[in-house]
Structure 1
Amino acid sequence: MATPHSSSGLLERLFKLTENNTTLRTEILAGVTTFITMCYIIIVNPMILSATGMDHGAVFVATCIAAAIGCLVMGLLANYPIALAPGMGLNAYFTYSVCLGMGVPWQTALAAVFISGIIFVIISFLRIREAIVNAIPMSLKFAIGGGIGLFLALIGLKNAGIIIHNDATLIGLGSLKQAPALLALFGFLMIVVLHHFRVRGAIIISILTVTVLGSFLGLNKFQGIVGEVPSIAPTLFQMDFHGLFSASMVGVIFVFFLVDLFDSTGTLVGVAHRAGLLKDGKLPRLKKALFADSSAIIAGAALGTSSTTPYIESASGVSAGGRTGLTAVVVAGLFLACLFFAPLAQSVPSFATAPALIFIGVLMIQGIVNIEWEDITEAVPAFLTIVFMPFAYSIADGIAMGFLSYALIKLFTGQAKSVPYMVWIVAVLWAIKFMVFGG
C-alpha cells in the first residue's frame, strides 16, 4: 500500500517539483485554474461540430477524452504545464468551411484531420516544423490569427441573431428586441467585465448564466446537470479516407496543418516563456512537446473531433504557479470528470455560446497591431488575409489570398528575393487549386 511519502516521491521523480521550484498544492491549484479558463470548450465544440450532422453527445465525449489524452501526454512525457483541447478556429473551419461550405461529409473531414496529425508527427521528428514556421512572414502569421478572430465573431453574431441575412445588403443587423440577441449581448458584456477584473472562468460563467436565464424564459430546455456518459460510437473510428483523393481535400489537409502549425507552436513558446521555461530562447524537450500535440490530433480525429491543440489559457495556470506537467495531468483528470456533465452541455443554446465566440475573436485579433502597416507590401496581403476569412466565410480562402497577394506584390515591386521559398510553394499550390477547381 502506497504511503503519502511514497506518493510524493513518485510525483517528485515524474515531474521534478523541487527542481522546478513548485509544490503539489501549487500544481493542483494551477491545474484547476487552467481548467476553469478553458472548460468552455466542452460546451462550444460539440455545438459547433454537431452542425455538420455529428452526434452531439458523441462529440462531447470525444472532446473530453481528446483533451484528456493531449494533457496527459504533454504532462507525463514533456513535463510542461500546457493543456490541450480541440482548438477554436479549427473547429469552425471544419464545420463551416469544409463540411457546410464545401459539402464534405464529416467522416471525410475527420480523415483529413487525422492525416494532418500524421504529417505533424513526421515533421516534428524531422525538425522541419520550426523551419516552416520561421519561413512564413510575420505579417501573414498575425493576419491569419486576426482573420480567424473575425470569422469566429461573425459566427457568434449570426448564432445570436444579431447579424442576419439581408437580400439587399447581403448581411444586416437583426432585431435587438429579440430575447436571444439581448441575452447574447448581456453575456458578452459579462465576459468583458469579468475579464477586466481578472475573474477566472469568465467565459464559462457567462455561458452558464445565459443558459439559466434562457431556461427561465423558456428559450431552451434544461436537461439537467449530471447524467450517463453518452455513447461515443456514432463518431468513434468513423473516418472515411476514400474521399480524400482529390485536390480540394489536399487543400483542406494543408489548411488544417498550417493553422494548427502556427497556433500550437506559438502557444507552446508563449506559455513556456511566461513560465520561465525557455533556456537561451529555446524550449527544452521541444520534440516531446510537439509529439504531445501531434498525437492528440490523431487521437481526437479517431475519437470524433477536430484538431486538438495547446491552449493559450494555459497561461492562467502558469500565472497561478504551475511549472510542471502535473498541472496538465490535473487538467486531464478534470476533463474526464466532465464526462458525467453531458446533460448540462446539451442544455446550452447557441445564443449562450455566441458571446464566447465573439470574445475569443477579440483576443485573436489583437495580434494585428504587430503587422507592419506602414509597408504597403506587407499591409495589403495581411489585410486581404483578414477580410477574406469572414467575407468569403472561409479560413482557407483567407490564407490563400494572403499568400498569393504576398508573392505577387513582392514580385512586382522588385522584392522577389526577400520572399521565403515556402511562401512561393504555398502560393503556387493555391494558384493551381483556383485555376483548376475554381473557388
Structure 2
Amino acid sequence: MNLFKLKEKKTTAKTEIIAGLTSFFAISYIVIVNSVILKDAGIPAELSVFATIFISAIGCYLMGIFANAPIILTPGMGVNAFFTYTLVGTLGLRWQEAIGVMMISSLIYCVIAFSKASDVLSRAVPDTLKHGITCGIGLFLVMIGLEKGQLIVAGDKSLVALGDLANPHAMLAIFGLILTLILVIRNVQGGMFIGILATTILGVLFKIQDAGEGSFSLMNIVDYPSIMGQGDFSGLFSLKFMMGVFSLTMILVFESMGLLQGLMEEASTVDFKKAFRMSAVTTFLSGIFGTSPTIAAAESASGIEEGGKTGLTTIVSGTLFLATLFFIPLLSYVPQAAIAPVILITGALMMKNLQHIQFDDFTEWFPAFLIVVLIPLTSSIADGMAAGFVFYPIVKLVSGKKSEIHPILYGISALFLMYLVLNALI
C-alpha cells in the first residue's frame, strides 16, 4: 500500500475501496452504452463491449499505478458520440478511418502531454474556459441523467419537456434520486453505490427493466481480435480526415485538461502532469483496442466525493471492469433509472466549478457561459468549446483588455473558428 501513499494522503484502504466501488458503478453503464453508440458507427456491439472493458481496466491501472490519482479513464460519453455521429455520420468516414483519425489525434495529444507544450497550453488557456468546459460537461451529464430516468423528454413545442412522472421508470428514478440525495447529504459512506444497489433491487422486484440492447456473451471474445488494430490512414491528407483530426485533438486535449483540473483541484502540478500523460497514453491505446477515445470520466467525482484520494480507488475500479467480463448479463439488470440519479448528482458536483468563474467580469463570464449552455444544448462538446474559445478574445479586445489574452490563444481561437466554418460547409 506504500505505492499509493495512503497515510500521506490521509486516507484508508477501506475508504479507497468504497470509493472505487462507487466510481465503478457510477460509470458501469458505459460498458453497454458505449457499445450501443459505436454500433451506429458500424462496430459490432457484441465485440466492442470487450474493447470498452479492456481499455477501461488498462486506463485505470495506468492511472492508479503511474499517477496515483482516483481518476477513471474510460471511453467518454460525448466523445463516443462525436466519433459515431460526427466522424462517421457527418464526415462520412468509415469506422476504421475514424479509428485512424483518433490515433493521429491521440499521438498529437501524447506529444503535447509529454512535452513543455502542455505547460504552454495550460498557461495560454484561461482558467475561466477550463472551468467552463468542466461545467458544460457537467450540465451535459445532468441532461443525460434526466433523460435516462425519463424525467425529461423531447418536447412538442420546446426542446425538452417534463416526462411522464407516472411512468414506472420515472418513478423509480425519482425514488433513486431522493434516496441517493439523502445518503450523500448525510455523508453516508458509499451512499451513491447504496443508492444504485437499492434502486436496482426495487426495479427487479417490480419488474421495471430496460429493453435489451444486444446479445452479450463471453463466448464472443474469440471474435474480438477482428476489430483490434483496424485504423485506416488511407485518407490521411483528405480535408475530411484532417478536419476530424483537428477537432478531435482539440476535444481530447482541452476537455481532458479541463476535466482533470476540475477533478483534481487539490492536486499538485506534478500529479496533474502524470494524470494528463496517462490519459494521453490510454487514449492512443483505445484506438488499438478498437473503441472510441478514452477520457477522464466525470463520474470519477462520485468516488472522490466518497473520499477517494489515491490510485487505489482506480485500481479497484479497473479490477471491477475486468470482473464485468463474467457478469455482463447481470449488468443488464441495472436499469437506467438506477444509474440516472448518480449521473445527475455527479453533473451537479462538476458544476460547482462555476464558483471559480469571475461573474463580476462579463468578459470572463460570457465565453464560459457559451461553453456551459452550448455543450448540452447542441450535445456537442466540440461546438460548445469552439464558441467559447472564439468569443473569448473578441470580448477581451472589445473591452480594451488585450493584455489578458495570451498570444497563443489567438491561434487556438482561429483554429476553432476555422473548425466552425468548415463544419458549416461540409
Amino acid aligned to 2:336: S
Equivalent position to 1:37, from 1, 5, 22: 22
Q: How far apart, in 1, do the equivalents of 2:317 and 2:145 lie?
A: 27
Specify the alignment match of 2:256 in structure 1.
260
Q: Secondary structure in 1 aligned to 2:154?
A: strand
TM-score (norm 2): 0.82
Verify: 1:368 aligned to 2:354, yes or no: yes
Q: How far apart, in 1, do the equivalents of 2:85 and 2:16 lie?
A: 32
User: CA contact under 8 A between 2:301 and 2:346: conserved in structure 1?
Assistant: no
Specify the alignment match of 1:7 in structure 2.
none
Seen in structure 2, the aligned counterparts of structure 1 residues 114 and 209 have a Cα distance that, compared at 3 Å, is farther
Specify the alignment match of 1:356 in structure 2.
342
Describe the superposition over 1:196-248 as per-residue Cα deviations: whole angstroms up to 9, x where unpaired.
Answer: 2223444443334434433333544699xx98475244643344445664253
Q: Secondary structure in 2 aligned to 1:407?
A: helix
Deviation at 1:403, TM superposition (A): 1.1
Deviation at 1:289, TM superposition (A): 4.3
Computed over aligned residues only, the root mean square deviation of the Cα atoms, in angstroms, reads 3.4
User: CA contact under 8 A between 1:112 and 1:253: conserved in structure 2?
Assistant: no
User: CA contact under 8 A between 1:187 and 1:352: conserved in structure 2?
Assistant: yes
Describe the superposition over 1:282-301 as per-residue Cα deviations: whole angstroms up to 9, x where unpaired.
Answer: 426x6654432222222233
Verify: 1:214 aligned to 2:206, yes or no: no
Equivalent position to 2:62, from 73, 79, 99: 73
Verify: 1:307 aligned to 2:294, yes or no: yes
Deviation at 1:364, TM superposition (A): 1.4
Seen in structure 2, the aligned counterparts of structure 1 residues 126 and 207 have a Cα distance that, compared at 3 Å, is same
Verify: 1:82 aligned to 2:70, yes or no: yes
Seen in structure 2, the aligned counterparts of structure 1 residues 159 and 209 have a Cα distance that, compared at 3 Å, is same
Specify the alignment match of 1:119 in structure 2.
108
Specify the alignment match of 2:368 in structure 1.
382
Verify: 1:187 aligned to 2:197, yes or no: no
387-396 or 237-246, which deviates more: 237-246
TM-score (norm 1): 0.79
Seen in structure 2, the aligned counterparts of structure 1 residues 51 and 64 have a Cα distance that, compared at 3 Å, is closer
Amino acid aligned to 1:156: G
Equivalent position to 1:167, from 151, 156, 165: 156
Amino acid aligned to 2:207: L
5+ unaligned residues in a row in structure 2: which ranges?
none
Equivalent position to 1:408, from 394, 397, 409: 394
Verify: 1:393 aligned to 2:379, yes or no: yes
114-123 or 201-210, which deviates more: 201-210
Seen in structure 2, the aligned counterparts of structure 1 residues 42 and 115 have a Cα distance that, compared at 3 Å, is farther
Q: How far apart, in 2, do the equivalents of 1:307 and 1:380 lie?
A: 29
Seen in structure 2, the aligned counterparts of structure 1 residues 203 and 128 have a Cα distance that, compared at 3 Å, is same
Q: How far apart, in 2, do the equivalents of 1:361 and 1:101 lie?
A: 28
Deviation at 1:152, TM superposition (A): 1.8
Amino acid aligned to 1:137: P
Amino acid aligned to 1:406: Y
The 5-angstrom pairing of residues 129-148 of structure 1 reads: 129-148=118-137
Specify the alignment match of 2:228 in structure 1.
236
Specify the alignment match of 1:342 in structure 2.
328
User: CA contact under 8 A between 1:55 and 1:234: conserved in structure 2?
Assistant: no
Q: How far apart, in 1, do the equivalents of 2:61 and 2:116 lie?
A: 23
Describe the superposition over 1:258-298 as per-residue Cα deviations: whole angstroms up to 9, x where unpaired.
Answer: 2112223554x436x3xxxx4xxx426x6654432222222
Describe the superposition over 1:111-169 as per-residue Cα deviations: whole angstroms up to 9, x where unpaired.
Answer: 44433332232122222112212221121111111111112222222333322223322
User: CA contact under 8 A between 1:77 and 1:288: conserved in structure 2?
Assistant: yes
Seen in structure 2, the aligned counterparts of structure 1 residues 45 and 149 have a Cα distance that, compared at 3 Å, is farther
Describe the superposition over 1:162-182 as per-residue Cα deviations: whole angstroms up to 9, x where unpaired.
Answer: 222233223322221111122
Specify the alignment match of 2:421 in structure 1.
435
Count of aligned residue pairs for this structure pair: 408
Specify the alignment match of 2:265 in structure 1.
270
User: CA contact under 8 A between 1:221 and 1:347: conserved in structure 2?
Assistant: no
104-113 or 399-408, which deviates more: 104-113
Specify the alignment match of 1:50 in structure 2.
36
Deviation at 1:83, TM superposition (A): 4.2
Deviation at 1:419, TM superposition (A): 0.9
Amino acid aligned to 1:253: T
Q: How far apart, in 2, do the equivalents of 1:154 and 1:181 lie?
A: 14
Q: How far apart, in 2, do the equivalents of 1:220 and 1:16 lie?
A: 39
User: CA contact under 8 A between 1:210 and 1:352: conserved in structure 2?
Assistant: yes
Verify: 1:248 aligned to 2:248, yes or no: no
403-412 or 93-102, which deviates more: 93-102
Deviation at 1:39, TM superposition (A): 0.7
Specify the alignment match of 1:6 in structure 2.
none
User: CA contact under 8 A between 1:116 and 1:257: conserved in structure 2?
Assistant: no
Q: How far apart, in 2, do the equivalents of 1:387 and 1:263 lie?
A: 17
137-146 or 109-118, which deviates more: 109-118
